[in-house]
Amino acid sequence: MTEALGLPPLGDEAAYRQAVAEAVAAAADYYGDGSTPLDDDAYDRLVRRVAAYEEEHPDAVAPDSPTGKVAGGAVSGDVPHTVPMLSLDNVFSPEQLLTWAASLERRLGRPVEAWSVEPKLDGLAVAARYREGRLVQLITRGDGTAGEDVSHAIGAIVGLPDRLPSPATVEMRGEVMMTAAQFEAANLIRVEHEGTPFSNARSGAAGTLRARERPYKVELSFFGYGALGLDDALAPRLAESAHSEVMAYVAGLGVQTTTATGAGIKACADLADVRSRVEEIAGLRTELGLGIDGIVIKTDAAADQVDAGFSSRAPRWAIAYKLPAVEKITRLVEVQWNVGRTGVIAPRAVLEPVQIDGTTVTYATLHNAADIGRRGLLLGDQVTVYKAGDVIPRVEAPVVHLRTGAETPIEIPSACPRCGGEIDTSQQRWRCVQGRLCHALASISYAVARDALDIETLGRLRIEAVLRAGLIADFADLFTLDYDAVLGLDRMGETSTANLLAAIEAAKDKPLNKVFCALGVQGTGRRMSRRIARHFATMDAIRTADIEALQEVEGIGPERAALIVNELSALSPVIDKLAAAGVSMVEPDAELGEPAEDEGLPLTGMTVVVTGSMTGPLAALSRNEMNDLIERAGGKTSSSVSSKTSLLVAGEKAGSKKDKAAKLEIKIASPDEFAALVEAFL
């Protein structure tokens, strides 16, 4: 069984007993003070190995085994539940989901009438009891039969009102958790009060819910997933209602449900619809701003739930489809300090390799020096690591209770790691005082790349050569290069020199958005440069824009606007040199104050994904050129298909993105069809 799941089997009874002890200890820590040496994925895998061993050795099952028990048997309570508060069984693949559904329908002797699908939130299950509309008691799930009274938390949980708009006597069941914003705020508050940061949002919620006396307030959120009537009038009404109807009733009383997450609750007519919905929620996972570790699939009809019944620990009419972990615990080995093209000094964590969501992670982002201190990180720490946007690994926090005493402070640089010069520490993101001059090669390479000035004949080796010769200090100096000086460089003949200077001369006619992109202003990129250029039309208008004026551009808020103003001030000498050299700094066909996206463009308001090999009129375009084409036609580009995708351009060998778009009923265009749509911009 374990081999089929891709897990190593437990070799003997001693290994089994050790695994049981480890799982029980992890569950006890989590359901105790909220700390845990194992992340959710590691705990699931451990318990699955224990279950596999027990299936093969039924006579060797340990009495304290976590299998078949709510919360792994780690907790109990002294407040009885009105109805047992059970866990859910898990599946881990589409095939296992179909097998479970088929088994359920065999048990019912009929097809399931309708399914309900919603995100599985990564929090703590609680029961909130209202008497005549007033919240009077909060109880944890405990062992499923009885839980712990945590009523001291009443009033500190968003989404769980103290009073309902009607005098209902009802029990709301749901998850208490921290959103990403609440988790960040909680750790800031804890550090301010000389506490250690929570290692992750789940343990932070567990510890906060049980904390009775703290000199500060930490906010939590509640998301309901069910309700029970507690009086003779409401009890039968809710018991006989479909799950979707119950949740509509809960939301109508002002109690927050999973609908507020952005993923919501959806009724599905068949399993094909269920699978499509599962993929849709999984695709939204990184956009929700809170932790989900799976998707819950339930029978919607009350009759199906009654007829399916319960096992000893879980309802037979519901299942949790678990998603791959996006957060793991590993060791912080080293911190490297890198200098970017704008002179920003950024720390990078070197980690013991760890698998997160199917990829091996060795490096992760650390924000800045202040953030390292705020999070209390030490070299050698066990740290939680997660994938931001499912792409960039980031270090979240140390797991303090796993420290051995061998950890050492992280050395913070006192001089620029690249040039040895002074560091400007006036902002959170430190910079070398030389700015772009510290890393001129990277800065100039960025400026002449395809997304900016697109000077093809000016590669890295030639940039290094003109820098070593002292002919340029920044990319603006390229436009005043002397023919004889360039000809005197190694490997530069008359023809290559003439070609290089001709390419540089041609770059003077690039539109404003390309020139602005070449500046490498922090907080901008190719897309934002296009928006700014379309809005202001000239470089002079951009330079004179204040913070308020910049905020009129889509996607620019107060902080980014302030950053751009400061950056442009620092770049004034470069911009002055560009103007003196005759570089055109206007956006063709744009007028001052024009929106970045014209309403008359064919892709206005559309998010477009391109996949596969392009053919026909698009065959010669690179992926960057395709993205540029989409943006010129008024659209936005994305690399992944989701419910927000408007159009998929599918070339040859389109693969899984095309399949996903079809399931989400997203419009799919061939390269020829798309070329016809944007013909005017080719």
> So what's the pLDDT on residue 74?
45
Residues 375 and 242 in one domain: no
Residues 571 and 481 in one domain: yes
Q: Nearest to residue 619, comparing CAs of 659, 661, 670?
A: 670
In a domain, 394, yes or no: yes
Residues 173 and 236 in one domain: yes
- DSSP class of residue 202 equals H
More confident residue, 624 or 502: 502
Phi-psi label, residue 500: left if phi above 0, alpha if psi -120 to 50, beta otherwise: alpha
In a domain, 617, yes or no: yes
> Each residue of 592-608: pLDDT tens digit?
545 444 456 788 878 88
Q: Which residues of 148-181 are buried (b: 16+ CB within 10 A; e: fewer)?
A: bebeebeeebebbbeebeeebbbbbbbbbbbbee
Q: What's the rounded mean pLDDT across residues 645-664?
A: 86
Residues 502 and 561 in one domain: yes
| Angle formed by the axes of helices 512-519 and 526-536, nearest 10° | 130
> So what's the pLDDT on residue 3?
45
Residues 315 and 457 in one domain: no
Q: What's the rounded mean pLDDT across residues 452-461?
A: 87
> So what's the pLDDT on residue 289?
83
Q: Are 478 and 472 in contact (CB under 8 A)?
A: yes
What is the spatial distance between Cα 47 and Cα 23, in angstroms, rounded to a whole number?
7
Least confident residue range of 17-26, 377-386, 414-423: 17-26
pLDDT value at 97 more than 90: yes
- Which of 164-173, 433-442, 544-553, 625-634 holds the top average pLDDT? 164-173
What is the spatial distance between Cα 443 and Cα 474, in angstroms, rounded to a whole number?
8
> So what's the pLDDT on residue 35?
52
> So what's the pLDDT on residue 388?
53
pLDDT value at 105 more than 70: yes
> So what's the pLDDT on residue 7?
56
> Each residue of 142-160: pLDDT tens digit?
878 888 889 989 988 999 9
Q: Nearest to residue 371, comparing CAs of 422, 427, 417?
A: 427
Query: What domain count does the chain have?
Result: 5
What is the spatial distance between Cα 367 and Cα 187, in angstroms, rounded to a whole number?
15
Q: What's the rounded mean pLDDT across residues 48-73?
A: 71
In a domain, 34, yes or no: yes
> So what's the pLDDT on residue 15?
76
pLDDT value at 655 more than 80: no
Residues 187 and 219 in one domain: yes
Task: Give the CATH number of the domain where residue 357 resides.
Answer: 2.40.50.140
Task: Give the CATH number of the domain where residue 616 resides.
Answer: 3.40.50.10190
First to last CA, the chain: 56
Which range marks the domain in which residue 536 is found?
438-580
- Which of 235-249, 408-422, 455-469, 514-528 holds the top average pLDDT? 235-249
Against a cut of 0.75, is the pTM above it?
no
> So what's the pLDDT on residue 421?
83
pLDDT value at 2 more than 80: no
In a domain, 348, yes or no: yes
Task: Give the CATH number of the domain where residue 48 resides.
Answer: 1.10.287
Residues 502 and 396 in one domain: no
Catalytically active residues, by annotation: 120
> Each residue of 280-324: pLDDT tens digit?
888 888 778 888 889 999 999 999 999 999 987 789 999 999 887
pLDDT value at 368 more than 70: yes
CA angle 548, 554, 557 (to 5 degrees): 45
Q: What is the mean pLDDT of the chain?
A: 84
CA angle 443, 446, 450 (to 5 degrees): 165
Residues 316 and 336 in one domain: no
> So what's the pLDDT on residue 390?
44
Characterize the bridge pairing of strands 327-339 and 408-409: unpaired
Task: Give the CATH number of the domain where residue 468 resides.
Answer: 1.10.150.20
In a domain, 589, yes or no: no
CA 221 to chain centre: 19
CA distances from 555 to 215, 342, 532, 538, 607 (A): 38, 22, 10, 19, 15
> Environment class of residue 415 by beta-carbon count within 10 Å: exposed (0-12), middle (13-18) or buried (19+)?
exposed
Q: Which residues of 531-556 are buried (b: 16+ CB within 10 A; e: fewer)?
A: bbbbbbbebebbbebebebbbebeeb
525 is written with which tokens? 């990129």
Q: Nearest to residue 447, comparing CAs of 496, 499, 504?
A: 504
Least confident residue range of 29-43, 252-266, 631-645: 29-43
In a domain, 599, yes or no: no
Residues 250 and 110 in one domain: yes
In a domain, 628, yes or no: yes
- DSSP for 54-102, please give it: HHH-GGG--TT--TTSGGGG----SEE-SS------EE-SHHHHHHHHH
In a domain, 431, yes or no: no
Q: What's the rounded mean pLDDT across residues 567-584?
A: 91
Phi-psi label, residue 520: left if phi above 0, alpha if psi -120 to 50, beta otherwise: left
Q: Are 324 and 291 in contact (CB under 8 A)?
A: no
Last residue of a domain, one of 73, 88, 118: 73
